[in-house]
Amino acid sequence: MSSDRRPWTFFVLATLFTLFVIFLYGPMISILILSFQGPNGSLSFPLRDPSLMWFGEVFNPSRVGDVPGAFSRSFPLSIIVMLLTVLISVTAGFGFRRHFRGSTLIFYTAIASLIVPGLVLSIGVLVTARFLGVSANWYTTGLGAHLSWTLPFGLLIMFAVLGRLNPSYEEAAYDLGASKWQTVKEVVVPIVFPGMIAVALFGFTLSYDEFPRSWLTIGTKNTLPLEIWTMTTNVTSPSLYALGAITTGISFLVIGAALGSIYLIQRKRAGL
């Protein structure tokens, strides 16, 4: 380990790692390429007469589903879920720093909410809506079902972030005359901000891509993952891949923005 020559296991594991990365990204890249298929191209390789026509088809509701409509629900839903996830899990994370009655119960409820099969929860939320006499909608039952999935993630991230937050920072602020609110605003939030971005990233992407918890809870009009799900069975043109490329592109934009801003903040703190 201490010698400079790499052990043979390094090369074996480096090969395994490379193969794994190819395994992870290969299929995604292949549908990205195939989304540029020409008019006579099929759902598989080779790529014939590259064109952008299937991207146009995505927005043609008669051929495909109502993609713009689905997006117009999915996007705001993900944004709302993201904001609520940050707000609720950050405040709850601070609450959990102090021991309180029922903390263990709430914690394990959150963990249970994380591991309960999505379909079971979907059924439950739908039945609950029925009993309450409300109709399922993306902005009511759908939102709640998504939160039951994103909040435990947010909480776990906040646990990790706040576990590393030295209480001396808050005491120092208090010592220097900051009020409770000023301490939160001027010291705590700026310090844990990268963690909050991570929570936001999970909140947005988990909601944007959620399928089983959406299935029965979003009502009659589909969100994007459900729209794609329907398309997997009845759309047989490369427009399916084009749609996949577009949504994956949006995901990558969000991931890039989140990771990029975390990187910039850390860089600034290191004084670079």
User: What residues from 39 to 78 belong to the interface with another protein (CB under 8 A)?
Assistant: 42-45
Other C-beta atoms closer than 10 Å to the C-beta of 188 total 18
Site mask, another protein, residues 7-46, x = CB under 8 A? Answer: x-xx--xx-xx--xx-xxxxxx-xx--x-------xxxx-
Q: Please, what is the minimum distance in Å from the beta carbon of residue 267 to another protein?
A: 10
Contacts 24+ apart (CB under 8 A), 132-141: 135/219, 136/216, 136/217, 136/218, 136/219, 137/218, 137/219, 138/73, 138/77, 138/214, 138/218, 138/219, 138/221, 138/223, 139/76, 139/77, 139/80, 141/217, 141/218, 141/219
Q: Please, what is the minimum distance in Å from the beta carbon of residue 69 to another protein?
A: 18
Q: Please, what is the minimum distance in Å from the beta carbon of residue 93 to another protein?
A: 9
Contact yes or no for 228/251 (Cβ under 8 A): no
Burial class (CB in 10 A: 0-12, 13-18, 19+), 113: middle
Tokens 């609950």 belong to which residue?
128
Q: Please, what is the minimum distance in Å from the beta carbon of residue 181 to another protein?
A: 11
111-170 residues in contact with another protein (CB under 8 A) are 111-113, 115-121, 123-125, 127-128, 130-131, 144-145, 147-148, 151, 155-156, 159-160, 163, 166, 168-169
Of residues 100, 134, 135, 260, which one binds another protein by CB under 8 A? 100
196 lines the binding site for another protein (CB under 8 A): no
Can you point out the beta strands (E) in the chain?
Answer: none
* Nearer Cβ to another protein (52/134): 134
Task: Pick the stretch among 51-59, 64-72, 180-188 that binds another protein (CB under 8 A).
Answer: 180-188
Tokens linked to 254 = 């969000």
Task: Pick the stretch among 50-58, 59-67, 209-217 that binds another protein (CB under 8 A).
Answer: 209-217
